[in-house]
Amino acid sequence: MIQRLGRNPIALAFVAILVLILVGSTFAIVPETKQAVVVRFGEPQRIVNRFKPNQDFGQTGAGLTARIPFMEQIVWIDKRILSVDMDRQQVLSTDQLRLQVDAFARYRIVDPLRMYIAAGTEQRVSDALRPILGSALRNELGKRPFAALLSPERGQMMDNIQTALNRVARQYGAEIVDVRIKRADLPDGTPLESAYERMRTARQQEARSILAQGLKQAQIIRAEADAEAASTYAEAFGKDPDFYNFYRAMQSYETTFVNNGSGEPMGRSSIVLSPRNEYLEEFSGGQ
Amino acid sequence: MNKFFGWGARVGAVFNENKGGPWGTGGSGGSGDGGGSGPRNPWGQPPRKRRPTGTTGNVTSLDDFLKKSRERFGGGRFPSTGDGKPYWLYGLAIFLVLWLLFTSIHRIGPQERGVVTRFGNYTATMGPGIGLTLPAPIDSVQKVDVEEIRTIDIGSTDANSENLILTGDQNIIDLAYSVRWNIKEPQLYLFQIANPEDTIREVAESAMRAVVAGVSLDDAIGSGRSEIEQRVAQVMQQLLDDYRAGVDIQGVAIKQSDPPAAVNDAFKEVSAAQQTAQSYLNDARAYALQLTAKAQGEAAAFDKVYEEYRLAPEVTRRRMYYETMEKVLSRVDKTIVEAPGVTPYLPLPEIQRRQQEGAAR
């Protein structure tokens, strides 16, 4: 037979193609990124490369796997961490403030069989988790005042949401790895505007207080200078108050009558003197 | 049976021309296991049968060359049948050799790592240099650039797009930043997460918002920026390590951190107020300097005079008195009234002069 085949290329080609088809439908390559559920006439038989925590790549079940051709099919299920993006949600906090929240959850299919039975495809799992993530988020955030949404308490909230979501995810053979709030914004319109208004007024208040502080500081500096000048004067003039009086009077006369210091033209003065004036004492021969 | 072979030969002759085609390309699958020796022997024979169908006249120089070389090397394995029919065999052999060469020798660049999978199962990561693996359908290599620092930009410094983030004191800032990262463990990067780049982006957004939610507006805009950058990088690294993403966060850089455009004017008012306050202070300091300097000058002048005065008090006093009086009285109009009861002459000369001046004007 072999000999005959050997002499006949067409028959050989047929055989080779048959063998190829057989090999191709018997063996399948399971990559590291996929879990394979082997299904015989719709009935799941076994799972190849199932996810196990803390398993290093190379030690997993990935690689060549065999199946009964034409009887068993392989359903591929992603082994990697997948993500569900939630649609933007409006959350009402206990103090009636609104917040626009964007969140995402990361999950991984840990029980491919259950997932295959319950959902079929990863897409369906995501679709099923999305609204639940939304409602879990609303429930959890709605229990808190607005300020708490911004506070470190957020970590605890996320854990609660994750727990709630995990309960559902487990029904789909999935495990939630992480839930995070991606964005938390004030909704457009009035809330945003009033926040802006508050920021504006806060800034104006700051501006005014800066001005007032500036004036206060300036006044203090002036007063300190006045005090310092006064003490300088007192120290110098206090040595002889009587002479100071005379000295200053002389200066003052000069300033008043001759030169008022500013160099501006001054009003002319007339003085009516009595001969008995001290200055004119000698006028009359020094009596 | 004879009949069958006769028919086969006829069809074979028809097929013969393009038989090499499908085998050549399809050979990739079969050649791995068969090694080519299966089809070669049997295919070596039939052409003699087909010979009579007549292409003797078509012997080319390549044909001759092949024949000769086969005679030289060949011998036992390929019985020199005297005809040069199975070119395709050589084609196949060359193809196989090339296939083996190209799919089992891998050049990994200095910045790359090669992740080797055998039938999909991760076996090793190859470092830079030449790496050998089993040929293609068995082993496959994915090259991953681990040195390249990739950048993800979030928000933009563009004026008409805002990436608003709530701060801890419930203010809003417009933030633009970028995350630099590279691949730390290529096999984790390839196998662990479905969309690594999207994941990093989302993690960055979430980490940034969480960190900014813990600081005040002033910190976020001003002094706290480098601390925010560090903390975001830390949080991101921790999250990604939790995911086992095989990614190294090199750094987070805040490119822009401003108040939103809608309240920018109010923020400018603050800096204007700071300037004004500063100018108040400057004025006050100038005044203070002037005043104290004047006081010191006057005090020093007094001291000088006082020193002289002390040496001869009465004389100095008189001298000063007369000097001052001279200065004063030389400049003013003087009227000396002798005795009580005498009415001074009024209007005084001064007033007369003023009237004259007024008339002249």
**Together in a domain, B184 and B211:** yes
Q: Is the peptide bond before B347 cis (omega within 30 degrees of 0)?
A: yes
Domain count within chain B: 3
Which pTM value belongs to this model? 0.65
Q: Give B97-104's long-range contacts (Cβ < 8 A, gap of 24+).
A: B99/B28, B99/B31, B99/B135, B99/B136, B100/B135, B103/B133, B103/B135, B103/B136, B103/B139, B104/B132, B104/B133, B104/B134, B104/B135, B104/B136, B104/B139
Q: How is B165-201 classified by DSSP, letter by letter?
A: EE-TTS-EEEEEEEEEEEES-HHHHHHSBSSHHHHHH
| Mean predicted confidence (pLDDT) in A230-247 | 87
Does A4 have pLDDT greater than 70?
Answer: no
Please give, rounded to a whole number of angstroms, the shortest distance from the CA of A258 to a CA of chain B: 6
Q: Which two tokens stand for residue B288?
A: 């203070």
B350 at interface of A, judged by CB pairs closer than 8 A? yes
**How high is the ipTM of this complex?**
0.72
* Contact list, A237 vs chain B (CB under 8 Å): 299, 302
Name which of A159, A182, A136, A95 is nearest B213 in CA terms.
A182
Residue B273 CA to residue B259 CA, distance in Å, equals: 17
Asked if residue B72 is part of any domain, the answer here is no
CB neighbours (10 Å) of residue A185? Answer: 19
**Together in a domain, B299 and B222:** no
Please give, rounded to a whole number of angstroms, the shortest distance from the CA of A193 to a CA of chain B: 9
CB A226 within 8 A of CB B284: no
Q: Which of A30, A78, A247 sits opposite B120 (nearest CB)?
A: A30
β-strand partners of B181 = B150, B249
Does B280 have pLDDT greater than 90?
Answer: yes
Q: Give pLDDT tens digits for B283-292.
A: 999 999 999 9
| Mean predicted confidence (pLDDT) in B169-180 | 88
pLDDT of residue B232: 92
**Together in a domain, B279 and B235:** no
B344 at interface of A, judged by CB pairs closer than 8 A? yes
CB B102 within 8 A of CB B132: no
**Together in a domain, B185 and B236:** yes
| Mean predicted confidence (pLDDT) in A192-197 | 84
The burial class, CB within 10 Å (0-12 / 13-18 / 19+), for B23 is buried
Does A68 have pLDDT greater than 90?
Answer: no
**Together in a domain, B254 and B277:** no
Asked if residue B68 is part of any domain, the answer here is no
Does B15 have pLDDT greater than 50?
Answer: no
Q: Give pLDDT tens digits for B119-133.
A: 878 887 888 888 888
| Mean predicted confidence (pLDDT) in B338-349 | 57
pLDDT of residue A266: 59
* Contact list, B43 vs chain A (CB under 8 Å): 9
Name the domain boundary from B96, B131, B146: B146
Does B12 have pLDDT greater than 50?
Answer: no
Does B355 have pLDDT greater than 70?
Answer: no
Instruction: Give the alpha-carbon dihedral of A27, A29, A30, A34, to 10 degrees.
Output: -120
Sequence-separated (6 or more) residues with CB below 8 Å from residue A18: none
**Together in a domain, B187 and B246:** yes
Asked if residue B355 is part of any domain, the answer here is no
Q: How is A179-231 classified by DSSP, letter by letter?
A: EEEEEEEPPTTHHHHHHHHHHHHHHHHHHHHHHHHHHHHHHHHHHHHHHHHHH
**Together in a domain, B135 and B165:** no
CB A65 within 8 A of CB A48: yes
| Mean predicted confidence (pLDDT) in B78-84 | 49
Host domain of residue B287 = 268-313
φ and ψ of B328, to 5 deg: -70, -50
Lowest-confidence pick of A44-58, A214-228, B60-74: B60-74
Q: What CATH number is associated with residue B171? A: 3.30.479.30
Name which of B151, B141, B88 is nearest B117 in CA terms.
B141
Does B56 have pLDDT greater than 70?
Answer: no
Does B348 have pLDDT greater than 70?
Answer: no
* pLDDT winner (highest mean) among A227-241, B323-337, B342-356: A227-241
Please give, rounded to a whole number of angstroms, the shortest distance from the CA of A132 to a CA of chain B: 20
Name which of B188, B115, B181, B108 is nearest B147 in CA terms.
B181
Note whether B327 contacts A258, CB cutoff 8 Å. Answer: yes
**Together in a domain, B131 and B157:** no
**Together in a domain, B244 and B193:** yes
Q: Give pLDDT tens digits for A110-147.
A: 888 888 888 878 888 888 888 888 888 888 888 888 77
Mutate to test the interface with A, among B1, B19, B117 (most CBs of A within 10 A): B117
Per the prediction, chain B carries an average pLDDT of: 75
Note whether B266 contacts A79, CB cutoff 8 Å. Answer: no
pLDDT of residue B120: 78
- Kind plus residue range of the DSSP H or E element containing B320: helix B313-331
Instruction: Report the share of chain A in percent with pLDDT over 70.
Output: 90
φ and ψ of B140, to 5 deg: -135, 150
φ and ψ of B224, to 5 deg: -85, 5
Q: Give pLDDT tens digits for B320-334.
A: 888 888 888 877 777
Note whether B335 contacts A270, CB cutoff 8 Å. Answer: yes
pLDDT of residue B21: 40
Please give, rounded to a whole number of angstroms, the shortest distance from the CA of B116 to a CA of chain A: 10
pLDDT of residue A217: 92
**Together in a domain, B142 and B155:** no
Q: Give pLDDT tens digits for A9-49.
A: 788 888 889 998 888 888 888 888 888 888 888 787 788 87
pLDDT of residue B32: 37
**Together in a domain, B241 and B221:** yes
**Together in a domain, B115 and B171:** no
Lowest-confidence pick of A154-168, A207-221, B194-208: A154-168
Please give, rounded to a whole number of angstroms, the shortest distance from the CA of B71 to a CA of chain A: 23
Note whether A228 contacts B292, CB cutoff 8 Å. Answer: yes
CB A217 within 8 A of CB B284: yes
Using CA coordinates, name the residue in chain A closest to B49: A7
**Rounded to the nearest 5 degrees, what angle is found at the Cα of B45, between the Cα atoms of B41 and B47?**
130
* Contact list, B288 vs chain A (CB under 8 Å): 221-222, 224-225, 228
CB A199 within 8 A of CB A213: no
Note whether B191 contacts A32, CB cutoff 8 Å. Answer: yes
Asked if residue B127 is part of any domain, the answer here is yes
Lowest-confidence pick of A148-162, A164-178, B86-100, B213-227: A148-162
Instruction: Report the share of chain B in percent with pLDDT over 90.
Output: 12
Greater confidence (B120 vs A162) lies with A162
Does B173 have pLDDT greater than 60?
Answer: yes
- pLDDT band at residue B75 under the 50/70/90 scheme: very low
- pLDDT band at residue B177 under the 50/70/90 scheme: very high
Does B156 have pLDDT greater than 70?
Answer: yes
Asked if residue B337 is part of any domain, the answer here is no
Q: Give pLDDT tens digits for B191-243.
A: 888 888 888 998 898 888 888 888 888 888 888 888 999 999 999 999 888 88
Q: Which two tokens stand for residue B89?
A: 């065999």
Using CA coordinates, name the residue in chain B closest to A192: B172
* Contact list, A156 vs chain B (CB under 8 Å): none
| Mean predicted confidence (pLDDT) in B173-186 | 90
